[in-house]
A and B are shown apart, each in its own frame.
Chain A
Amino acid sequence: MNNNHNKTNSKNSNYLVEVDRSKCIGAATCVALAPKTFKLDQDQIAEVISQENDNNQDKLLAAQSCPSSAIRLIDRRTKKVVWPKSS
């Protein structure tokens, strides 16, 4: 796992959210789309504040809308990467 990824643990959510700080440009689209999952830290970089409080659809939309592709989603049960799609 890349050390730049900000990761928290959860028991209840399907999708585990990770933010690659080295890619984040602070556009804050993730915060707008999934405000209970993301916030901007003091350096204006996205960080995960909860894995539980937004639904999977909002998390997916936030990941898909990230202009710098800094967000990765992993299905907790299957361990497969949900986003980005492998080409």
Chain B
Amino acid sequence: MVWKELDRQACCKKVLTNLYKKHMTKPQEYTAIFENKEIYNEKFEHYHFELKKPFQLDFKAGQFVSVLVNEQGMRRAYSICSDPDINHGIEILLDIAPQGIGVKYFQNLKFGDEIKFLAPMGRFVINDEVNHKSLTLIGTGSGIAPLHSMVVDQLKNKNDKRPIVLYWGLRHARHLVWQDEFTRWSKKFTNFSFHPTLSKPEKGWPLCRGRVTDCLSVHDLLESAGYYLCGSRAMIEDCKKILLERGVSEKNIYHEQFF
């Protein structure tokens, strides 16, 4: 998980520094109760936690939490996928495929168990200080989590009327989650469009095939967009390369890197 802005120009650095200062409040330690879990498929599980102490968390869409996953002090970072308007709890989309210490910790939780985490963290948030005419959100795998929070925040909470397009790259259709929700939003909010993109599509898959970079190479890019990327280092480098080649300014590209 986790994210930085692609920024090498002096003018951009000032914007970045301002963003950083604006969103970096000192994280607090929270205790929360494990309330619910949805097992979507063999890859993704969705965890719901209700805050216990403090009982309220004000976070920005795109931020993450640092969860204490063992008594030795090991922590793992997870993007919050839920609506920032709901400040009495957090939701996390977990990619269970790695089966590392964090995944095992979550999967061993019993309803009612307490977890401890530091929050809010991160600066991968929509930059409201720049008046982009549109937003393009690009994620792969569990990189969809912060983008889900961003989409609901922009559409529902901020009533953002700018064109917003979401690309989500996965291997298989059977791993897709929230597809009904994204489809429903695209009908309700006509400025929103969703492009699930599969690198190993099953026979008959009617939508985008290949990697998200393939889509970015051929699709019309939105005018004066801000680009928000979330995924692996390789995905971010590849997307950035395509976007720069197509004339997107580096200062309009923001990212959060998973590793």
Contact = CB atoms under 8 A, between A and B. Distances in A.
Interface in A23-65: 25-29, 31-33, 35, 40, 42-44, 60-61, 64-65
13 contacts: A25-B233, A26-B3, A26-B4, A26-B5, A28-B4, A28-B20, A32-B24, A33-B118, A61-B118, A65-B66, A65-B75, A65-B121, A67-B76
B146 interface: no
A25 B24 contact: no
**Interface-centre pick from A33, A35, A64, A65 (highest chain B CB count, 10 A):** A65
A27 B20 contact: no
Interface string A9-28: 00000000000000001111
A71 to B, nearest CB: 12
Contacts of A33: 26-27, 118
B interface, size bucket:
20 to 34
Contacts of A42: 13
B100 to A, nearest CB: 12
Contacts of A26: 3-5, 257
A29 B64 CA distance: 10
